[in-house]
Chains A and B, each alone.
Chain A
Amino acid sequence: MILSVGADFLGTWVSPVEFSADYSTNRKVSKDKAEMSRHIQIESMPSITGYKADTRISVKPSEELSSLVDILNVVTGAGAAKNAKVAKAAEELKSAGAGNALVVCGVNSADAQVIVNAINNALGSYGSTITWDRPYNTKQGSDKAIVQLAEGLNNGSVKAVLFLDSNPAYSSPVKGLAEAIKKAELSVSFANRADETAQLCKYVCPDNHWLESWNDLEPKAGVYNTVQPTISKLFDTRPIQETLLKWSGKSGSYYDFIQKYWENNIYGKQTKYSGFWAFWDNAVHDGEIVVDASGSAASFDGASVSASVSNLSAYVATLGDAQVRLYESVAIGDGSWGDNPFLQELPDSVSKVAWGNFIAVNPRWYVKNGYNIDPDFKEKRYAVAKLTVGGESIELPVVGVPGTPEGTFGVALGYGRTSPNHSDLQVGANAFKLLAKSGDSFNTISKASIAKTEATDLVAITQTHFNITLQDLGGVKTRKTVKETTLKEYAKNPAAGNEDRAHIMEEMVTLYYEHTKPGHHWTMVIDLNSCDGCGACVVACNVENNVPVVGKDQVIRAREMHWLRIDRYYTGEADNPDVVFQPMLCQHCDNAPCENVCPVAATNHSSEGMNQMAYNRCIGTRYCANNCPYKVRRFNWYDYQQADAFDKRYGTSNDQNVASEYLGLHEPLTRMVLNPDVTVRSRGVMEKCSFCAQRLQAAKLEAKKDGRLLADGDATVACQTACASGAIVFGDRNDKTSAVAKLFSDERTFGVIEEIHTMPNVLYQTQVRNRDEVKKYDIIDYYHES
């Protein structure tokens, strides 16, 4: 039983990759194990964690805080809860039994966290669901210290400041910090790019890129990692560690320093290897050494709880009707990688908006207040509003996000960078300045006011919101693109939610013989229950397969090139919907409609069941894309990667609007991002998911060299390797012992629109939610309601 209050632990909170992996192991269901954890999310701004929860309680930002008090009251029996839904959740927590529940909270407030501790203490989580032996070392910060730094710089008590992996000039809400940095007698930035802070510093001593230097890490207590350089350094840089060694008058390289440190400090903690060199070689080879760690068991000190409760309640009382909830988007996070075009082009999992942030509002509020200027998404034009928090204001387009309560305005942090040297990367507005100070910390929840402006802006939204059902013509019909059930139903019938598949399979008759797949028959099964829509697979795919970044203008025209996208479907009630995320890629249909229509035979079927593309043969009629029911084929409208010399040779200038032109994919340096195993596509050809043909080929060759048959798991695809929650299973269906072959015949497995007899090789498994009621696939179309 997990209850999260505003903590997007699958997306952005503390260590989301690890949490996704751990979370999903308890959420995988099978016929043998029809049980899973229960997850309740109380949040205002929808997150992927909330959308994946079994029950999502949509509350205003202030109620995120007050619900903590509610839960504490119910759990400790100290009082009654104000919010009935929260009370019910708290009751559930109580009845989960001691040591079976966990409450987490993503609110940046010491008071809130004290209450969370009190709740967890009351639930008996300490020592069971919360352990002390491996605390995280990845994130640490002090809002108080940065304020003090600004004061110190201003009054001259701080004379020198060094910046390493931090960019406070951009990301700190402290007013006047930038001016203060300039006052320092000595200011040094180690940033390897000219970020906002580096631009203010007197000296910039660029650090190596982490792939260029030796390093060691301890992300969690007792987990030691080594980092090897994979490339010699490209620029005139020096690792920060060597710089510090030199400045401190020590000789020797940082590699020797690390080695010495490991010999003196870590070697002794382990017993596996005898002899330092064996230890060291293995540590470098494996990259990780885990030693026993026993943190000091902490006990809860309940003394400050009542003070925290009153502090929090007092803060809640000041918040008023309109409240802002600042959050991090999965793609951009805190903005430190905001200059990475891959991440900018990755649509936000929740809103599907790429290239910029926006004000997320309740769709009903959106319609009521005159923001519904383009209900058909003809242009993807949105009205811009001015959001003011305590004197600071930003102007951003307003986008309706289902699940956001009225009076809540969500804004993503991490945008509005001014330092990237390409104007296309300087998108959105910097919301860090909206962080309001309460007590010693900057709070992501604060009182706000919003005013509509006359301005409008285009938003690069890749999936707009339409009804999945057809309600007229006598009865309600639902597209069974995604299928859902509840755990209870699933325990009774493994095919629950997927009952119609038996009938569909029965109807699959054909006059034709089937082409044999004598060798492998590559198949992918994606568990919708595990997929949390984070988008890691999308980025992995882009990087692996040289998928070009096309820029905001092209994304608005729906010309994004992603081979793999994550579709988001709303189900359930309009104000607080459930969401099913569905990674959608080429389905490699055995009866592929696209193959039939290509006049030049550029796309056809391999004997291993893959739908393959011959880029050289493609003339770009785009008929295949039209005839693809899944709309997963992508067309190179421009020469995004200068694969073809056409434009240069003929001097056409119509590529000026293409991001790659000014994002520099034509430059030798940026072209280093290209994977040499994958061809770059020229302008005018179709492309799509290849099932990572190059990786499969490599795996086959590897097996051949070893003189063995290809084993299950030898061949992996990029998206699969990137999926922390293990939602993607890939393999050879002909190998009856493979994981994918077993899933292929599982009752939960279904193909999307397989009733049109496409016979896809990418299959999905039903989403199972651990709760009582199954919600209808029925969403009100806010945008056309009168």
Chain B
Amino acid sequence: MTIFAVICAGMFPIFHMGRVWDAPFIFPIPNTRGPLWVNFNSPLLWDVFAISTYFSVSLLFWYSGLMPDFGTIRDRSKGKIRKYLYNLASFGWQGSAKQWQRFEALSLVLAGLSTPLVLSVHTIVSFDFATSVIPGWHTTIFPPYFVAGAIFSGFAMVETLMIITRKLFKLEDYITINHIESMNKIIVLTGSIVGIAYLTELFIAWYSGALYEQFAFYNRILGKYLWAYALMMSCNVLSPQLYWFKRFRRSIPVTFVLSIFVNIGMWFERFVIIVTSLADDYLVSSWAYFSPTWVDWGIYLGSISVFLFLFLLFARFFPTIAIAEVKAIFRTSSEVAKAERAKAEGATHGGFVLKGALDKE
């Protein structure tokens, strides 16, 4: 999901370039202009590095974890073409002890790298705003606030997709209500952090005494974009508060609806930040109102479509749950295993897979 989201995210700056065909200029490649390299001061350039690193490291993490699973699918699939293709995808995975040892080492380090990378990518994206001079953007709170927002909206988006996938693929035994409840706890936590960040922004704007800053936030909450701010606040801050109640945390319909609310809310957060700040900034003479054209709508809806298209392709052809990982903890942590253990200590082996039929040899 990250991968597809990042693909979409990466597409946006490219789509919005005036000269898409010159997009390679953003990489420091030697050229005939001196060579004129890139501007390492630009947050947008940091973004280029952050997003491409994030994308490629996520890709590595994702794919290196997929290889053993492709091996499994290869060995279980029938038909030459399928076997050939899945073997191609598995890079010829065998599952030997040394491979697994290195696999473990690699996953550990990649997981370790990915965590700060998540923080860094959102921090750097927030630098696009935080290091600029526009009132409403120029705020030091942005990095943590964006990270919390990213986790918040990320969990919500995962929930949206997961609840559908879980139902359709009958994965209820793998993704249990306990998982969903835990995710909802994270959502209420990060949602509240984001809420506090909103309030902090307002307080700091008032406290700063700076006219431009004060106006930016005054205008944000009471100006012509009041509707957007209200939507953002209610979806992002108020709606997740329902999760304080266990009944709602463990309700699939509530979770599904709220996850969509959060998605809407986070979209409006960006809208509020970008549009309200830019529409009315320093010089009153340049104030204006943003109204999207059909192109804007098209790009927006198109990006959602691209994301869903890629996600559905993935769900159709690739394992939606990491097979090897589940197997590894199956014997110790699964509900079935726990029940088994409680029932009888005698069976030391057998019953590895209780549900579903094994292939016949």
A residues apposed to B, CB below 8 Å: 376-379, 463-464, 466-468, 470, 472-473, 477-479, 481, 558, 565, 567-569, 582, 584, 593, 595-601, 604, 614, 616-623, 626-627, 629-631, 635-636, 646, 682-686, 752-753, 756, 758
Contact = CB atoms under 8 A, between A and B. Distances in A.
A781 to B, nearest CB: 11
B10 to A, nearest CB: 13
A619 B25 contact: yes
Contacts of B22: 619
A470 B206 CA distance: 12
Interface in B40-88: 41-45, 47-48
B17 A468 contact: no
B284 interface: yes
A683 B20 CA distance: 11
Interface of B: 13, 16-23, 25-26, 33, 36-39, 41-45, 47-48, 128, 131-134, 206, 211-212, 214-215, 218, 224, 278, 280-289, 291
A100 B37 CA distance: 65
Contact of A620 (B18, B33, B287): B18
Contacts of B281: 629, 631
Given A599-B26, A600-B38, A684-B17, A473 B280 contact: no
Given A596-B42, A621-B16, A378 B291 contact: yes
Leading 8 A-B pairs by shortest Cβ distance? A620-B18, A684-B18, A567-B285, A631-B286, A684-B19, A599-B45, A601-B39, A599-B44
A594 to B, nearest CB: 9
Contacts of B128: 623
A638 B286 CA distance: 21
Given A597-B43, A600-B26, A683 B284 contact: no
Contact of B18 (A558, A595, A635): A635
Given A477-B211, A614-B33, A682-B19, 14 more contacts: A377-B288, A379-B289, A379-B291, A481-B284, A565-B285, A582-B285, A596-B42, A598-B44, A599-B39, A599-B48, A618-B18, A636-B18, A684-B20, A756-B133
Contacts of B133: 593, 627, 629, 756, 758
B314 to A, nearest CB: 30
Contact of A377 (B16, B215, B289): B289
Contacts of A376: 224, 289
Q: Chain A: interface secondary structure?
A: loop
Contacts of A756: 133
Given A473-B206, A567-B283, A596 B41 contact: yes
28 contacts: A376-B289, A377-B288, A463-B286, A470-B211, A473-B214, A479-B283, A567-B283, A584-B283, A596-B39, A596-B131, A597-B43, A601-B37, A601-B38, A619-B17, A619-B26, A620-B18, A621-B13, A623-B42, A623-B44, A623-B128, A629-B281, A630-B283, A630-B286, A631-B281, A635-B18, A636-B18, A685-B18, A756-B133
Contacts of A616: 33
Contacts of A614: 33, 36
A598 B39 CA distance: 7
Contact of B284 (A379, A467, A629): A467
Nearest to A591: B133
B316 to A, nearest CB: 35
Contacts of A630: 282-283, 286
B218 A473 contact: yes
Given A379-B291, A466-B287, A619-B23, A627 B214 contact: no
B42 A598 contact: yes
A618 B38 CA distance: 11
A367 B19 CA distance: 44
A470 B205 CA distance: 13
Contacts of A685: 18-19
Contacts of B26: 599-600, 619
B176 to A, nearest CB: 45
Contacts of B285: 463, 481, 565, 567-569, 582, 584, 631
Nearest to B219: A470
A572 B303 CA distance: 49
A629 B282 contact: yes
Q: Which of A558, A686, A758 has the most CB of B within 10 A?
A: A558
B39 A479 contact: no
Contacts of B278: 626
Q: Which of A600, A631, A756 has the most CB of B within 10 A?
A: A600
